[in-house]
Amino acid sequence: MVNNTTLEHDIYLFHQGNLRYSYKLLGAHPDTQDGEQGIRFAVWAPNAKQVSVVGDFNQWDGREHPMERFNDNGIWMTFIPNLDQGTIYKYEILTPHGHLRLKADPYAFSSELRPETASVVHPLDNYTWSDDEWMRERKAKNPYESPMSIYEIHLGSWKYIEPEVFYNFREYAEWVIPYVKNLGYTHIELLPIMEHPFDRSWGYQITGYYSVTARYGSPDDFKYFVDQCHQNGLGVILDWVPGHFCKDEHGLRRFDGEALYEYENPSKAEKTQWGTLTFDFGRNEVQSFLTSNAIYWLKEYHLDGLRVDAVASMLYLDFGKEEGEWELNEYGGRENLEAVEFIKKMNEAIFEEIPDTLMMAEESTSWPLVSAPTYIGGLGFNYKWNMGWMNDMLKYIEMDPIHRKYHHNLITFSLMYAYSENFVLPISHDEVVHGKKSLLNKMPGDYWQKFANLRAFLAYMYAHPGKKLLFMGGEFGQFDEWKDLEDLDWELLDYDSHNNTLNYVKQLHQLYRDTPALWELDHKEEGFFWIDPNNYEQSIVSFARNSRTSNDQLIVVCNFTPQVYHDYKVGVPKHGSYKEIFSSDAEQYGGSGQTNGLPLHTIPEPWQGQDQHITMTIPPLGVSFLKRTSVSKEENHEK
């Protein structure tokens, strides 16, 4: 039974935009009143003339269970005895215009399987977690100085029973987790699994923000998936979409007959390019709804972070709009000032509630300080997707190698701003769909060169400062672009080139996770320095990655042409012997085998700004990782 004092306080906070757990106030909750067990329903509908709870239990007759208006700000409540988990329901709303509307519960924790649209009662406390060790270790972990390699996955097209018929979260746990763990990833990132009506929106156009999609099972099934990930050492990040919602009639659109969750002004509300509506970020109750929603997924589902979709569409009033379709803000600018303030407020609340979480912004512009704290003027995320690096590198790698020397800046420019944010390097689903071609098929050249280019690209990505993200299929060289209505082409693993690529990604991850220089100082300038960024004629770059321990320094040499170079001079900062500890051109990965098997001893002659150099074989379309394994006689003598 709800305490009235607590109830009134929560309602006050809700209307102030400061209720961080509004899903405990609103929605459908098991309760006991006057000794009877049943369900307590609460919904915010300030413009409604009347609201009723309807379902099979009352033959969908709104006269049977009308709700009472609790306060003047539009919260309606009722208690219905003898209802239990699994009850199917909607709200019947009489609008100010005298129309009856059937709406799904904005705070429902479960929903019917599409095409059905009703909400389903589901308690929050059904599941018993077994990930205490993971959650404890997470609190003690510094993500900025830890390896982070993310496998982005759309469950329904990773593997399915048949088109539009999917496996359960528990079955996906059985297959996905061992696969991703074996490859050496640290995290799984799921495309949105909130309830959505249309499969091909991939979950980015949502009707049930608090509801796990019934496509893959129940809320408890999803908790099991996350729990199993944690028990197997994998973090889970979920795509989250606070920027817009779809217009389906049973959803949030004009929920009580008027614009409620969306802006009243069409120039601010309409996302014309997506056919969706923008949340009214200036409305306090919407702020409570969205902030609580983020906290809900992080708290109730033990998620390790949220990747926030389309942040730029929230920040800019003119995003995706033509001239005349938007209006300047009060200061004559194009920024959505309400959205900016909401984002800051939301992130502050989230990190106060869950300090050890990840909030990653997909922000595609040069908005400053996205991943900086709000107290120094930042937006308050702790990571930002590096869309600039992604666009430059894909543009570069798609070129015929003969033309790459004319665009050498595309592989070096990212280091000009690499430390302006805490970056994730993303090769996501958006880059391999809708005619953009798969990652492998973006690569120029013949069959061998495509795979060599892919290996070189991935090696450079893992050597570059920043955390990593790769969309499913890229790990074994899917030839076709992402087919969202089909599952991955697993039969390709019967072919050596694809199986070798899968093994390559596994070994690349092993190198990455075992080498602190590749992640410990990702976000600090002392973690990287160029040896030679200027050899555009041969499309070769070389650089060093540092860790906090000087002996862990790694030298990386990248060749983006199919030319082999023998006795190539590379400046190195320390004398001694260097060993090639990894080569993307090794025969076991399908390469040509132009590797450096013997120790590379330094020659005490300056080169490329270093006091000494080595000579080595530079593989075609290859990347070599070198590590100093012994000191020279002179250094031993000095000691």
Instruction: Give burial (CB, 10 Å; 0-12/13-18/19+) of 161.
Output: exposed
Residue 151: pLDDT over 50: yes
Q: What percent of the chain has pLDDT over 70?
A: 98
Residue type, 141: K
Q: What percent of the chain has pLDDT over 90?
A: 96
Give the integer Cα–Cα distance in Å for 97 and 506. Answer: 61
pLDDT number for residue 623: 98
Average pLDDT in the chain = 96
The DSSP-derived string for 164-189 is TB---HHHHHHHHHHHHHHHT-SEEE
Q: What is the mean pLDDT of residues 406-434?
A: 97
pLDDT number for residue 635: 53
Residue 276: pLDDT over 70: yes
Q: Residue holding tokens 């892919």?
A: 454
pLDDT band at 280 (very low <50, low <70, confident <90, very high): very high
Phi, psi for residue 516 in degrees, rounded to 5 = -55, -30
Q: How far is CA 197 from CA 257, 309, 310, in A?
A: 21, 18, 20
Give the residue range(s) of CATH 2.60.40.1180 domains in the chain.
527-638
Specify whether 309 is catalytic: yes
pLDDT band at 549 (very low <50, low <70, confident <90, very high): confident
- Calculate the CA 535 to chain-centre distance: 35
* Cβ pair 355, 22 in contact under 8 A: no
Residue 4: pLDDT over 90: no
pLDDT number for residue 630: 77
pLDDT number for residue 194: 98
**How many CB atoms lie under 10 A from the CB of residue 436?**
14
Give the integer Cα–Cα distance in Å for 106 and 74. Answer: 15
pLDDT number for residue 639: 44
* Cβ pair 560, 540 in contact under 8 A: yes
Residue 406: pLDDT over 50: yes
* Cβ pair 172, 216 in contact under 8 A: yes
Pairing of strands 622-630, 577-583: antiparallel
Residue 552: pLDDT over 50: yes
**pTM of the shown model:** 0.96
pLDDT band at 6 (very low <50, low <70, confident <90, very high): confident
Give the active site residue among 362, 392, 520, 585. Answer: 362
The DSSP-derived string for 460-498 is HHHHSSSEEEEETTTTTT-SSPP-TTS---GGGGGSHHH
- Calculate the CA 62 to chain-centre distance: 41
What is the tens place of the pLDDT at every residue in 213-269? 999 999 999 999 999 999 999 999 999 999 999 999 999 999 999 999 999 999 999
pLDDT number for residue 84: 96
What is the tens place of the pLDDT at every residue in 378-405? 999 999 999 999 999 999 999 999 999 9
Smallest CA-to-CA distance from 405 within 566, 542, 535 is with 535
**527-638: CATH superfamily:** Golgi alpha-mannosidase II (2.60.40.1180)
What is the tens place of the pLDDT at every residue in 463-498? 999 999 999 999 999 999 999 999 999 999 999 999
pLDDT number for residue 2: 64
What is the tens place of the pLDDT at every residue in 177-209? 999 999 999 999 999 999 999 999 999 999 999
**How many CB atoms lie under 10 A from the CB of residue 605?**
11
- Calculate the CA 407 to chain-centre distance: 30
Give the active site residue among 309, 363, 522, 580. Answer: 309
Measured distance between the N- and C-terminal CA atoms of the chain, rounded to whole angstroms? 75
The third-level CATH classification (topology) of the domain covering 4-120 is Immunoglobulin-like (2.60.40)
The DSSP H or E segment spanning 629 is strand 622-630
Residue 633: pLDDT over 60: no
Give the residue range(s) of CATH 2.60.40.10 domains in the chain.
4-120
pLDDT band at 563 (very low <50, low <70, confident <90, very high): very high
Q: What is the mean pLDDT of residues 109-123?
A: 98
Smallest CA-to-CA distance from 475 within 443, 431, 433, 509 is with 509
Q: What is the mean pLDDT of residues 16-42?
A: 97
Residue 638: pLDDT over 50: no
* Cβ pair 144, 422 in contact under 8 A: yes
Q: How far is CA 495 from CA 175, 476, 477, 490, in A?
A: 21, 10, 11, 10
pLDDT number for residue 572: 97
What is the tens place of the pLDDT at every residue in 67-85? 999 988 899 999 999 999 9
| 26-52 burial: b if 16+ Cβ within 10 Å, else e | bbbbbbeeeeeebbbbbbbbbbbeebb
Helices then strands, each counted (H, E), the chain: 17, 29
